[in-house]
């Protein structure tokens, strides 16, 4: 029998929705006070509705990512020639079961196996030599691939062509070297130098961020610092197309930074450069700390927000210009043309900002949305998010364990759920209601911005607490005060400045950016100075993080009342993270640094030698214990300056 309320069409069929409204709208409170079988039947209805047609696609990248996570949890490297055929067999089995009721389960298992296999193959493809022990003063020759300008020192990546070390026969592909500020060679140059090389830095404490893994997937086998002068010599060859492209883009970034430097200085100049080119290392420490404490640190890293603003500004500007010509409006699809122009602008922004993994992820998400507009599909959906996640994970599986991926997709999942589920219910009121009257005065926009900031901040809290040991209690306040100015003034002015650079009229737009950036810095410093603004969180391991991730996914993707199981899991993960006991003694991997908890509950370090990165290790352990960073400065008399990261 057809479901009540469905409409019969002219051919005798029925038109309805899936899942049935009664399955979606029901709640546990509506379950009759009957027997346990009635509750079980209701649960079966909800599960059946969640597994309905079109509902599995958002879960495929979840299973794919679970397979990648299982790979990174393996004790040793899997055997590729066994893993890949197994994944292929499971994918084929899922295809053969496409008309069977076990198809959803088969698809999830196949996706997990595919994720595991892709991660295995990616690691094998990226295989290179990693330095195991320090090397003193080897002679290196190679091409400069990237260059970073930081607050106190500069840093560059050298693609090694020749390495002379008579004591060890080691051949590294790439090394990352630190130099005095202002002395880094230009990208694309062929240099000869001596350096002290050290192995990649291991995790500060068990379960913390693995810098060595990050460097491995960048193709870097060692880090260190330059000893003596850097000589620029004639290259043996041209270096390849990729190197010439990198040099061209670096020259463009330097030209933009030079134009901004003529008008702005200090942190305003550094932030303006960071927003347009992705180079954010020249921001001073006090401002950088205030940005992250206040919850505005996401502005400094090019992400989905920046891509959305760039694409949105170009989309609406092009569409408005085309709409001025009535013949075009009536004859041609100017909306699709505008989306194509926005896609081109987003692609240029991707290349200009360095095309890092986080920026690539943002571009893929924006590109999927714009392509959906061009093919007359709904743009902001869970399917769009799923497609973007699959593209990113298939290209760079290692992104799954990176904080930027986790925080970005958690925030995006929350925002998509808000757009599709929360906002329609919030504003589905009669026109004469108080909500409608408030909307006429901008109330809807204010509520939308507040909800978006709250949802995104709440979704990213577990990852900020895990990776950075901090939470932002006033993040909503800071975003409400600063983000409208950034969206409406700073980013549009920056885009206009780029467009006006070839004509020499860009100065006025950099000054407009300065007004907005100064306001953002003032908001960040004010919020960071509020009582309780610095929310510290002790390390709690991966267990609570995985549980919180599962809760966020369930809360975001499920449509029936089963979604509230996600909220319960998040609550349990929160209690779990707060109940984790902290160690009383921490010993570094080389045994040279030991931290012991004293009678006051704080950890004091006993330094046995001037080991590499001792200050950095101490700061990491203090953050892991949820203690104040200023305690690190107590070790200054013992040779710890409490300040910067170690070289490399």
What is the reported pLDDT for 357?
A: 66
Minimum mean pLDDT among 16-20, 249-253, 429-433: which range? 16-20
pLDDT for residue 190 = 92
- Report strand pairing: 190-198 vs 174-180: unpaired
With a pLDDT cut of 70, the percent of the chain lying above it is: 80
pLDDT tier at 606 (50, 70, 90 boundaries)?
low
Q: Show the tokens assigned to 383.
A: 């399917």
Whether the CB-CB separation of 420 and 412 falls below 8 Å is answered with no
**pLDDT computed for residue 14 by the predictor:** 46
- H/E run at residue 606: strand 603-607
pLDDT confidence bin for 433, thresholds 50/70/90: low
The predicted pLDDT at position 23 comes to 44
CA separation, residue 534 to residues 59, 293, 527 (Å): 36, 6, 10
Give the per-residue pLDDT at 611: 46
- Per-residue pLDDT for 10 more than 50? no
Residue predicted with more confidence, 392 or 28: 392
At residue 69, the pLDDT reads 93
Mapping DSSP onto H, E and C, the string for 191-219 reads EEEEEEEECCCCCCCCCCCCHHHHHHCCC
Computed on alpha carbons and rounded to an integer, the radius of gyration of the chain in Å comes to 27
- In 337-354, which positions are buried (b, 16+ CB within 10 angstroms) versus exposed (e)? bbbbbbbebbeebbebbb
> Of 67, 186, 78, which is closest to residue 123 (Cα–Cα)?
78
Rounded to 5°, angle at Cα 357 from 382 and 489: 75
- Asked if residue 236 has pLDDT above 60, the reply is yes
Is residue 527's pLDDT more than 70?
yes
Q: Where are the alpha helices (DSSP H) in 538-598?
A: 542-557, 564-579
pLDDT at 99 over 60: yes
Nearest to 291 by CA among 450, 449, 474: 474
The C-alpha atoms of residue 557 and residue 572 are separated, in whole angstroms, by 19
Read off the pLDDT band of 509 (50, 70, 90). Answer: very high
Per DSSP bridges, beta strands 470-471 and 222-232 are unpaired
Task: Kindly state the average pLDDT of the residues 120-135.
Answer: 89
Q: Rounded to whole angstroms, how far apart are CA atoms 145 and 638? A: 37
Pick from 88-102, 225-239, 311-325, 581-595: least confident: 581-595
Range in 126-140, 335-349, 581-595 the model is least confident about:
581-595
pLDDT per residue as tens digits for the range 152-177: 788 899 999 888 876 667 788 999 99
Q: How many angstroms separate the CA atoms of 199 and 210, rounded?
A: 13
Contact 461, 470 (CB under 8 A): no
Which one has a higher pLDDT value, 413 or 613?
413
* Better pLDDT: 643 or 8: 8
- pLDDT 10s digits, 346-391: 999 888 887 776 677 778 888 888 888 888 877 677 888 888 889 8
How many whole angstroms from its chain centre is CA 388? 13
d(CA 114, CA 72): 14
pLDDT band at 68 (very low <50, low <70, confident <90, very high): very high
Confidence class of residue 568 from pLDDT cuts 50, 70 and 90?
A: very high
Mean pLDDT, the chain, whole residue set? 79
Name the phi and psi angles at 621, rounded to 5: -70, -35
Per-residue pLDDT for 222 more than 60?
Answer: yes
pLDDT reported for residue 424: 59
């Amino acid at each position: 029998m057809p479901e009540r309320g469905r409409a019969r069409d002219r051919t005798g069929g029925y038109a309805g929705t899936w899942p049935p409204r009664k399955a979606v709208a029901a709640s546990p409170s509506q379950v009759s006070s009957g027997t346990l079988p009635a509750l079980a039947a209701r649960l079966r209805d909800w599960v059946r509705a969640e597994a309905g047609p079109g509902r599995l696609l958002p879960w495929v990248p979840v299973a794919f990512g679970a397979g990648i996570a299982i790979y990174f949890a393996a004790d040793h490297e899997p055997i590729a020639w066994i893993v890949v055929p197994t994944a292929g067999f499971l994918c084929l089995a899922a295809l053969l079961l496409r008309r069977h009721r076990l198809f959803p389960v088969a698809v999830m298992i196949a996706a997990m196996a595919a994720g595991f296999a892709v991660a295995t193959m990616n690691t094998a493809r990226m295989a290179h030599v990693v330095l195991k022990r320090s090397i003193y003063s080897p002679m290196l020759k190679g091409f400069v691939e990237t260059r970073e300008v930081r607050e106190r020192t500069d840093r560059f990546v050298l693609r090694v062509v020749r390495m002379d070390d008579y004591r060890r026969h080691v051949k590294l592909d790439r090394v990352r070297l630190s130099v005095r500020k202002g002395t880094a060679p230009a990208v694309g140059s062929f240099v000869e130098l001596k350096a002290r090389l050290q192995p990649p830095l291991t995790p500060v404490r068990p379960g913390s961020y693995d810098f060595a893994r990050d460097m491995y997937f960048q193709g870097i086998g060692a880090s260190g610092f330059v000893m003596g002068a850097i000589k620029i010599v004639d290259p043996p060859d041209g270096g390849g197309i990729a190197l010439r492209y990198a040099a061209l883009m670096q020259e463009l970034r330097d030209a933009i930074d030079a134009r901004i430097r003529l008008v702005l200085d200090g942190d305003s100049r550094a932030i303006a450069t960071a927003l347009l080119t992705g180079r954010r290392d020249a921001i001073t420490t006090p401002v950088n700390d205030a940005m992250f404490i206040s919850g505005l640190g996401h502005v400094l890293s090019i992400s989905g927000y920046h891509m959305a603003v760039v694409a949105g500004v170009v989309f609406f500007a092009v569409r408005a210009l085309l709409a001025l010509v009535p013949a075009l409006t009536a004859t041609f699809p100017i909306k699709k043309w505008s989306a194509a122009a926005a896609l081109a602008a987003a692609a240029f922004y991707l290349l200009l900002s360095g095309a890092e993994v986080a920026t690539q992820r943002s571009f893929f998400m924006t590109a999927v949305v714009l392509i959906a507009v061009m093919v007359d599909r709904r743009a902001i959906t869970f399917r769009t998010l799923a497609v973007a996640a699959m593209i990113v994970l298939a290209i760079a599986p290692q992104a799954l364990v990176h904080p930027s991926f986790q925080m970005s997709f958690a925030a995006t999942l929350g925002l998509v759920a808000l757009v599709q589920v929360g906002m329609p219910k919030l504003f589905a009121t009669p026109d004469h209601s108080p909500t409608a009257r408030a909307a006429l005065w901008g109330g809807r926009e204010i509520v939308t911005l507040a909800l978006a900031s709250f949802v995104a901040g709440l979704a990213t809290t577990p990852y900020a607490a895990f990776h950075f040991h901090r939470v932002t209690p006033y993040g909503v306040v800071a975003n409400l005060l600063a983000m409208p100015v950034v969206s409406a003034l700073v980013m549009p002015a920056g885009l206009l400045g780029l467009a006006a650079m070839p004509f020499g009229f860009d100065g006025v737009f950099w000054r407009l950016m300065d007004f907005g950036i100064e306001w953002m810095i003032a908001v960040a410093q004010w919020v960071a100075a509020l009582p309780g603004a610095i929310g510290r969180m002790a390390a709690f391991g991966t267990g609570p993080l995985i549980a919180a991730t599962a809760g966020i996914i369930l809360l975001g993707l499920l449509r029936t009342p089963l979604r509230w199981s996600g909220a319960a899991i998040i609550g349990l993960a929160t209690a779990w993270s707060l109940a984790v006991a902290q160690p009383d003694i921490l010993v570094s991997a080389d045994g040279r640094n030991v931290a012991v908890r004293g009678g006051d509950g704080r950890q004091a370090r006993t330094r046995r030698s001037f080991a590499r990165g001792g200050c950095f290790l101490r700061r990491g352990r203090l953050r892991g214990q949820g203690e104040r960073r200023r305690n690190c400065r107590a070790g200054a008399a013992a040779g710890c300056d409490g300040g910067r990261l170690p070289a490399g």
